[in-house]
Structure 1
Amino acid sequence: MEPPSYEEANRHPSIPSRVGLNNENLASAPSTPPPTYREAVHQDPFPVLTPPSVPAAEVPPSQPAEVTVHPLTQIGRRGGASSSRQTQSVVVVSQPQPVPIVPTSLIDAPGLIRCPHCQHLVTTKVTYKPGCAAWCSCTLLALMGLICGICLIPLMLRRMQDAHHYCPDCEKKVYVYKR
């Protein structure tokens, strides 16, 4: 069986696909197409705002009537009142000073401390040297039979070495972080 031709299909009334939908509801549907994606999603990042206004009773006689004053945004103005000489308050904001840590809380990374020797506020210089953890691992690998240089790998791994913290000013040892 072949589908009906275009002319035959137009002669028969269409059957609504939803229950309760009739031709009257179809006629009342809006005739404008839905907005495009750009129209629906695009929002103006800078909406046009109405300028603030001051009632005529609050405008001082020294100002022209067409000048609009917003009391919250005008520096030196308080509630729309004007004075011949107004002072501007200046606020200076500074960042807080870095807080040095105690030497015993240093780990394997440089830290900001007050040197106990020269009393300067410095960031420590770190050098890594094989410590107890590296030598114990090396000995354990050698006892397991890995003697062809493989047992020396823990001596080269930074995670197995102790961190020696030095003051960059006086070059004295500040702390040793042991593994």
Structure 2
Amino acid sequence: MDATMENKMGLPPPYEPTAPSPAPPPSYFGDNPPPPAGLAVPAVPPRTTVITTPAAPAAPAGRPIKLGPGPTGASCPTCHKSIVTRVDFVPNTRTHIVSAALCVLAGCCCGCFVPYCMRSCKSANHYCPACKAFIGTYQHS
């Protein structure tokens, strides 16, 4: 059979010699090849950095900071500055319970929004105005 007859029969063309194999990938060592076998290389100890910081007590003598419902004077346990705290009021479990009780008692959903507008039903989160660190939470009793 010749080549034209093979093509008419749907057979593939004859294979041609393949190209030589590609070059090997570049070395992982860059321009510095590994040392020859048997050559002793002195070990270099790894560099370590030690950072020492003074321990920051949470409050003098381990006492918690007494916080109130509004901005309170305190010493920040993070930056150790004498500050007046910044207060954010956030809803808590008490807010949700009072809201649900008002909804049931009032018979409609109009009164359920009132606790979310009252500071006495929310927790007061205190933050340092200098370093923005969280100081603590005050919850009305």
| TM, length-normalised to structure 2 | 0.50
Distance 1:146 1:164 in 2: 32
Identify which of 128, 139, 148 aligns with 2:89: 128
Partner of 2:99: 138
CA contact (8 A) 1:129 1:163 kept: yes
In the alignment, structure 1 residue 170 sits paired with structure 2 residue 131: yes
> Shift in Å at residue 144 of structure 1?
2.3
Letter of the structure 2 residue corresponding to residue 135 of structure 1: H
Structure having greater relative contact order (Cα 8 Å, sep ≥ 6): 2
Letter of the structure 1 residue corresponding to residue 92 of structure 2: G
Partner of 2:74: 113
Distance 1:144 1:117 in 2: 46
Larger Rg: 1
What RMSD in Å do the two structures reach over aligned CA positions?
Answer: 1.9
Distance 2:96 2:65 in 1: 24
Quote the sequence identity (%).
28
Matches within 5 A, 1:1-179: 103-179=64-140
Distance 1:174 1:103 in 2: 10
Distance 2:100 2:109 in 1: 13
CA contact (8 A) 2:65 2:74 kept: no
Count of aligned pairs: 79
Letter of the structure 2 residue corresponding to residue 170 of structure 1: C
| TM, length-normalised to structure 1 | 0.40
CA contact (8 A) 1:103 1:113 kept: no
